[in-house]
Amino acid sequence: MPPVTLALVTVNVGVFLLQQAAPGIVIPFALWPFGSARVGGSEVGFQVWQLVTYAFLHGGLLHLAFNMFALYMFGGPIEQVFGGRRYLIYYFVCVVSAALAQLAVSAMIGTVYPAIGASGGVFGLLLAYAIYFPRNRIMLLFPPIPMQARTFVIVYAVLELFFGVTGTEEGVAHFAHLGGLVGGFIMLQLWRSTGGWRR
């Protein structure tokens, strides 16, 4: 596993273990919507650091395992293409763009729940993987259907949009996932236009 991907996985696992020992750390570091809410007698709300910190928190072992597997699967090859520094920049651009999308949607529909998880960054990596390795085959989990990476990312994006618009799978930040895709796409186009999209 390349070093930056390994470091990201290690930090995520370490923070998850810290969550188990001190569950209260989720409250100030999750991504809260604009405004404020009362949790356990304390008032909480959006803080600027949450644009990044939410991505290192997870809602359970399965949530963590799925995101870390995807980070390993898509992040490793992209780190090798970009180099460590650009890869890290790209990942955090996707994390922040996912957070901004989540905040915008939360403001529109009045959501009062926080968001956590690395999925926004992972979806950005999935997009980059589909662009750089479009013919590589990826196996869906449910149902187990193999498809090319470029087809996979299109299908996944359409499903996320459908689930987000219809409100299916409540508790999943579908528009944050799409925000990670959009942020990644914009970053790649910016690098391409300036000649800085490779190492």
Dist. CA 12–CA 4, nearest whole Å:
12
Please tell me whether the peptide bond between 146 and the residue prior to it is cis, using omega within 30 degrees of 0: no
Residue 128: other Cβ atoms inside 10 A: 26
SS3 57: coil
Write down the CATH number for the domain with range 3-194. Answer: 1.20.1540.10
Q: Which segment of 13-22, 82-91, 168-177 scores lowest on mean pLDDT? A: 168-177
Please write the tens of the pLDDT for every residue from 81-140.
999 999 999 999 999 999 999 999 888 877 778 889 999 999 999 999 999 998 888 876
40 vs 1: which has the higher pLDDT:
1
Assess whether pLDDT exceeds 80 at residue 5. yes
pLDDT score for 143: 64
Dist. CA 148–CA 138, nearest whole Å:
6
Q: Which residues, other chains included, contact 126 with Cβ-Cβ below 8 Å and sequence gap of 6+?
A: 70, 74, 152, 153, 156, 181
CB 78 within 8 A of CB 4: no
Please write the tens of the pLDDT for every residue from 42-66.
677 889 999 999 999 998 899 999 8
CB 91 within 8 A of CB 52: no
Please write the tens of the pLDDT for every residue from 87-98.
999 999 999 999
CB 93 within 8 A of CB 43: no
Confidence category of residue 174, pLDDT binned at 50, 70, 90: confident
Dist. CA 85–CA 95, nearest whole Å:
16
Task: Name the DSSP class of 32.
Answer: P
SS3 94: helix
Domain positions in the chain: 3-194
Q: Which residues, other chains included, contact 10 with Cβ-Cβ below 8 Å and sequence gap of 6+?
A: none
Look at residues 1, 159, 164 and name the one whose alpha carbon lies nearest to residue 80: 1
CB 1 within 8 A of CB 72: yes
pLDDT score for 46: 86
